[in-house]
Amino acid sequence: MAHYPSYYKMSQKLFFIILKLFSFLVLFFLILPLLIVIPLSFNAEPYFSFTQSMLNLDPQAYSLKWYQAFFTTPIWLTAIKNSLFVAVISTLLATVLGTLAALGLNANTMPFKRFIMALFLSPMIVPLIITAAGMFFFYAKFNLVGSYLGLILAHTSLGIPFVIITVCAALKSFDQSLYNAARLCGATPLKAFFTVTFVLIKPGVLSGALFAFVTSLDEIVLVLFLAGPEQRTIPRQMFSGLREQINPTILAVSSLLTLTTLLLLITILVVRHKEKAHVNHE
């Protein structure tokens, strides 16, 4: 019995080592396709496989022409414009509405808080195929299918939960007495919010906005159901290219989207790190 504590610690340590090893294997399995797609996007030949010249590291076997095609082909330029337009507008709407919802949910007088929170977070829980089908039948009654407005509202509904989660997390460390002090000093509710509350919860708002932007930029299911020919986004064009005409430009687009998403996620981590440092400093 004297050796039981040491045996338990060794077993626990071994368990965490195995868990970390398994996590790294899963991460490698998820990253492996990227390690293949990115080099293939520089293939000078119109193939989705490595050529012998690429394996021999011949400089002539590599080219940037597929990236050039992405930024010069009219159909891809239209997809870029549509994706950025929908993502930016839906992110702005999701940030404003999500922040207001988080402020309301943070109030102690809010009735049915758990039910309302679950309702707001339902787009993250319900499968997208069900959400898209429901929106399609609902939009059909108001002629919103195949319109920019319908697509923006759909993407906004997907981004709001991320904003609510990050802003609610930021509000947990917010001292309400600071807002009350600003009101006692004569500030209007709107001025007190922007000069006190918003300044302190800004990292959470920015994190939620970046999550909403990434979600909108990569969304394909809602676009397939709700978008028309004029609302063709980058993921929709990639999907169409795989079905109609296989072109290595898709590999370049996939690499750029991966890089963009990675940079945005790094930005989110930096913002959250600054938020934690600010809270610890306070």
Q: Could you tell me the pLDDT band of residue 83, with boundaries at 50, 70 and 90? A: very high
The confidence score (pLDDT) of residue 8 equals: 64
Q: Kindly report the number of other CB atoms within 10 A of residue 276's CB atom.
A: 12
The confidence score (pLDDT) of residue 3 equals: 53
Distance CA 84, CA 229 (A): 16
- Those residues whose C-beta lies under 8 Å from the C-beta of residue 179, and which sit 6 or more positions away, are 192, 193, 196, 197
Judge whether residue 167 has pLDDT over 80.
Answer: yes
Mean pLDDT of 70-99: 92
Average pLDDT, the chain: 84
Judge whether residue 156 has pLDDT over 90.
Answer: yes
- Those residues whose C-beta lies under 8 Å from the C-beta of residue 232, and which sit 6 or more positions away, are 75, 78, 79, 82, 240
Judge whether residue 12 has pLDDT over 70.
Answer: yes
Q: Could you tell me the pLDDT band of residue 98, with boundaries at 50, 70 and 90? A: very high
**Cα torsion angle, 176, 200, 275, 170, sign:** positive
Yes or no: say if 230 and 236 are a contact pair by the CB < 8 Å rule: no
**Spatial CA neighbour of 203 closest among 123, 95, 109, 110:** 95
- Those residues whose C-beta lies under 8 Å from the C-beta of residue 208, and which sit 6 or more positions away, are 94, 95, 98, 99, 159, 162, 163, 164, 165, 166, 167
The confidence score (pLDDT) of residue 240 equals: 81
Q: How far is CA 207 from the centre of its chain?
A: 10
The confidence score (pLDDT) of residue 176 equals: 78
Q: Could you tell me the pLDDT band of residue 257, with boundaries at 50, 70 and 90? A: confident
Q: Which residue has the higher pLDDT, 34 or 88?
A: 88
pTM: 0.81
Residue-wise pLDDT for 175-197, tens only, equals 778 878 888 888 788 888 888 88
Judge whether residue 1 has pLDDT over 60.
Answer: no
Flag the least confident range among 158-172, 204-218, 253-267.
Answer: 253-267
